[in-house]
Amino acid sequence: MRPSPSRLLNILVPVKRAVDYAVKIRVNPQQTGIDTNVKHSMNPFDEIAVEEAVRLREKLKASVTSIKAITIGPPKALDTLRTALAMGADSAIHVEVPETQPAPEPLAIARTLKAVIEKQNAAATKPEDKIDLVILGKQAIDDDLGVTGQMLAGLLGWSQATFASKVDIDVAKNEALVTREIDGGGEEIKCRLPLVVTTDLRLNEPRYASLPNIMKAKKKPVEKLSPADLGVDYTPQLETLKVSEPPVRVGGGKVANVDELLAKLKEAGFP
Amino acid sequence: MLAARLWARQRALPRRVGFSTAALPHTSLNPVTEQDVAHFSKFLAPNSIISTLSPNPCAPDELETYNNDWIGRFHGQSTTVLKPKTTQEVSEILKWCNDHRIAVVPQGGNTGLVGGSVPVNNELILSLANMNKVRSFDPISGILVADAGCILQSLTDYVAPHNHIMPVDLGAKGSCQIGGNVATNAGGLRLLRYGSLHGTVLGLEVVLPDGRILDQLTTLRKDNTGYDLKQLFIGAEGTLGVITGVSILTPPAPQASNNVILALPTFDNVLPLYQTVKRQLSEILSAFEFIDRTAYDLAVKHGQGRALSEEDTKGAECFVLVETSGGRREHDEEKLNDLLELLLSADKPLINTGVLSQSPAQFISLWALREGVTEAVSKEGKAYKYDISVPLSSFKEVVDNTREHLRSKGLLHDKAVKYVLGYGHVGDGNLHLNIVADAYLPEIENALEPYIYEVVAAHRGSISAEHGIGAMKTHALPYSKSAISIELMKKIKQVFDPRGIMNPGKVLE
């Protein structure tokens, strides 16, 4: 009897170009959104996702056949893909959205990812060419919606392991053991592949992109697609009414003694 | 009348006792008394006075942060800290102190490294912390006028929305104050690009020891009208007067910054690398910092910034951090990429490898590896810090020779000196030589001094490139300054401060 071919993993890592978290966010004068003419970088949770994919390959060696990064965004999002490639992804897909168009919503993103996965898996002649693991950030720090991973798993009918702080994959058994961050601790779940994992902060600490890898990344292939190629409609379903800054924090004051404190509290309406 | 005489007598008595016990450097100086505190309370708000003396004595530990420097090497015994809110209040304090021969230590953020901002004995501490208002900022000329007690970081934040930056930047920016920066002529990380404070400070407001206010708070870039007196206060470390206001030229903020840490197989490559980097990056080069392997390992050990991977640091003898700042991201990145490609593809590469920051967060993290060395060193143990200017080519030799010197004295082990490390500003010829010990021991100090000073003198270097003289190096001043220079300095001190109340025991012995 011939042994069944050992399973091989193909990992897809969706990444998003977001306003860098070190940048101070300012609302635009029209109050329709934020000033985006600032420094952008890869969404930190997605950076953790890329790192996890690379670490899985370092651990599972040849069992990980490919790591592909994908982004859906304006022309400048290519920089974000290059970072992912410099960190260790093998190839990338850029679904380009015009600069002027509003950022696509999570459902549209999930549909795009589904279309990409189905396209590749339909074209695969051997089972080991199929994408069977998606690792992505649990949320993007710009809109904080945090639903893309769950939507994708739902659309594909795959297992999902959200808010992961530890991922162990048993390729032979076709299983993953994932620790999830939940209120008050961790929850260990076992899931079957194919699987969507969303990353939490404690999963790992992403590496810097080293110079030789940055140079190599420039030569790695990036496939360019348009939403139309994938048959996905990016018309927004949500309407933003108004964006405003949080109220300015008023500084505290010092009181000389308890009596003064009590008086102030009464003044502020405390009984 | 009687009351007045009694009062006068009372204040005279403890003074005389004070003379015999307290060994102030100037025997003609007096300690602070309750009467002095009572006088200060006439014109200072209650929360501007912290004193262990009556009428409202505080707990002694409230004075700890003022009496001790942050590395824990210098300890004063002051009883009283005054925190005036206006220049006028500073003037009244100094006038009183001068009249009553009370020694005064001006104190900013107290982040100095040579004991210049803490008392050597029981001097009055004059903290500028409450003078923290920006007086004016002209977004067209970029000239900022601010109170001396403004924290450097808050000034950076203040000018940032106007697209300007402070010309000075250093690791202690979150605590140090601009007045202290000027008084110590702080150098820091941007000196390579924007020059020293002698150039960027346009004017100063200084309260002289007798209480007169020297108002030179001009905002003129050009002013050739006689002796430039403000220059004397820049780097005088509070020995000539108290800086209360600073007018400083802030450069436009670079529109794009980037940084990269390069791992070098040997120190010998630092200088050729510096040449290459200067040539390739030219006007966008804004920092070229050197960290030796020991310094890097300590920074990583104490969590200062995310470490490079082991693969990237393998076989590296030292690291160089290069920062670029320019007007256009694409232009700068292209230049930097060309440089990096050149470095990586060379036949005999100067570097092993390196990492290029991919985001502002990584930019900060890479800088933290360099800036955090100071903090890491103080977490590791007791630090002897030498901040010297020597020719670039002798950086490593000085560090290695010092280590060997300590080894030959049998002092290089767990219970004495743990690490000897070097880092610094290659672009400015400034080496920070740090000796990390288990405890401050006289035999270590004897092994280091005058040894290091002699090495510096042999290179015609400076025993203090940017930290100043403070209380730590007064005895060593002759290694860098001639007898004539020192004599003239003493004469200048005499002109401004004839009673010697200003920061006694600092700079000049």
Say whether pLDDT at B476 is over 60.
yes
Tell me what pLDDT residue B26 has.
Answer: 52
Say whether pLDDT at B11 is over 50.
no
If pLDDT is split at 50, 70 and 90, which confidence band does B147 have? Answer: very high
Phi and psi at B286, nearest 5°, equal -120, -10
Residue A224 within a domain: yes
What CATH fold (topology level) applies to the domain B381-468?
Alpha-Beta Plaits (3.30.70)
Say whether pLDDT at B109 is over 90.
yes
Residue A263 within a domain: no
Tell me what pLDDT residue A6 has.
Answer: 57
Token couple for A262? 């009590």
- Residues A10/A70, Cβ–Cβ less than 8 Å: no
Say whether pLDDT at B146 is over 90.
yes
* Number of structural domains in chain A: 1
Residue A254 within a domain: no
If pLDDT is split at 50, 70 and 90, which confidence band does B4 have? Answer: very low
CATH class of B134-249: alpha beta
Name the CATH code of domain B256-373 (choices 3.30.70.2190, 3.30.70.20, 3.90.1200.10, 2.40.240.10): 3.30.70.2190
Q: Do B356 and A21 touch (CB under 8 A)?
A: no
Q: Do B361 and A20 touch (CB under 8 A)?
A: yes
pLDDT in 10s for each residue of chain A, 271 residues: 444 445 689 999 999 999 998 888 889 889 988 888 888 999 999 999 999 999 999 999 889 999 999 999 999 999 999 999 999 999 999 999 998 888 899 999 999 999 999 999 999 888 888 999 999 999 999 989 999 999 999 999 999 999 999 999 999 899 999 999 999 899 999 999 999 999 999 999 999 999 999 999 999 999 999 999 999 999 999 998 999 988 888 888 888 899 999 998 998 888 7
Q: Across the interface, which of A23, A39, A209 has its CB nearest the CB of B355?
A: A209
Write b or e for each residue in B440-466: b if 16 or more Cβ atoms lie within 10 A of its Cβ, otherwise e. Answer: eeeebeebbbeebbebbbebebbbbbb
If pLDDT is split at 50, 70 and 90, which confidence band does B16 have? Answer: very low
What CATH fold (topology level) applies to the domain B2-127?
3.30.43
Residue A243 within a domain: no
* Distance (Å, whole) CA B185 – CA B231: 10
- Residues A84/A222, Cβ–Cβ less than 8 Å: no
Q: Do B360 and A212 touch (CB under 8 A)?
A: no
Say whether pLDDT at B7 is over 60.
no
* Distance (Å, whole) CA B397 – CA A163: 52
**Rounded to the nearest 5 degrees, what angle is found at the Cα of B430, between the Cα atoms of B427 and B432?**
130
- From residue B471, how far is each of A114, B250, B391 by CA, in Å? 69, 31, 26
Say whether pLDDT at B120 is over 90.
yes
* Distance (Å, whole) CA A57 – CA A43: 22
A212 touching B (Cβ < 8 Å): yes
Tell me what pLDDT residue B9 has.
Answer: 41
Please give the ipTM for the structure prediction.
Answer: 0.78
Which whole number is the average pLDDT over B99-108? Answer: 96
Domain with CATH 3.30.43.10 in chain B: 2-127
Average per-residue pLDDT for chain B: 90
Residue A260 within a domain: no
Domain with CATH 3.30.465.10 in chain B: 134-249
A89 touching B (Cβ < 8 Å): no
Residue A244 within a domain: no
If pLDDT is split at 50, 70 and 90, which confidence band does B18 have? Answer: very low
Give the residue from A219, A217, A260, A265 showing the smallest Cα distance to A83: A217
pLDDT by residue (tens digit) across B49-79? 999 997 888 888 899 999 999 888 899 999 9
Chain A residues 4-63 with a CB less than 8 Å from chain B = 20-23, 39, 41-42, 44
Say whether pLDDT at B208 is over 50.
yes
Q: Provide the 8-state DSSP code for B48.
A: G
- Interface mutation target, options B343, B358, B365, chain A, most CBs of A under 10 Å: B358
Tell me what pLDDT residue A104 has.
Answer: 92
Q: Which residue intervals of B328-434 are DSSP H helices?
A: 329-345, 360-371, 373-380, 395-408
DSSP letter for each residue of B485-502: HHHHHHHHHHHH-TT--B
Residues 6+ apart with CB under 8 A from B403: B412, B420
Phi and psi at B6, nearest 5°, equal -60, -45
Domain with CATH 3.30.70.2740 in chain B: 381-468
Residue A247 within a domain: no
Residue A3 within a domain: no
Which whole number is the average pLDDT over B366-388? Answer: 90
For residue A229, give the CATH number of its domain.
3.40.50.620
Tell me what pLDDT residue B371 has.
Answer: 87
**Amino acid making up residue A200:** D
Tell me what pLDDT residue B192 has.
Answer: 85
pLDDT by residue (tens digit) across B255-313? 889 999 999 999 999 999 999 999 999 999 999 999 999 999 999 999 887 888 888 88
Q: What is the domain range of residue A70?
A: 9-238
Tell me what pLDDT residue B14 has.
Answer: 39
Q: Do A39 and B340 touch (CB under 8 A)?
A: no
Q: Across the interface, which of A21, A209, A215 has its CB nearest the CB of B361?
A: A21
Tell me what pLDDT residue B122 has.
Answer: 93
If pLDDT is split at 50, 70 and 90, which confidence band does B117 have? Answer: very high
Q: Across the interface, which of B47, B308, B356 has its CB nearest the CB of A214?
A: B356
A211 touching B (Cβ < 8 Å): yes
Q: Do A41 and B361 touch (CB under 8 A)?
A: yes
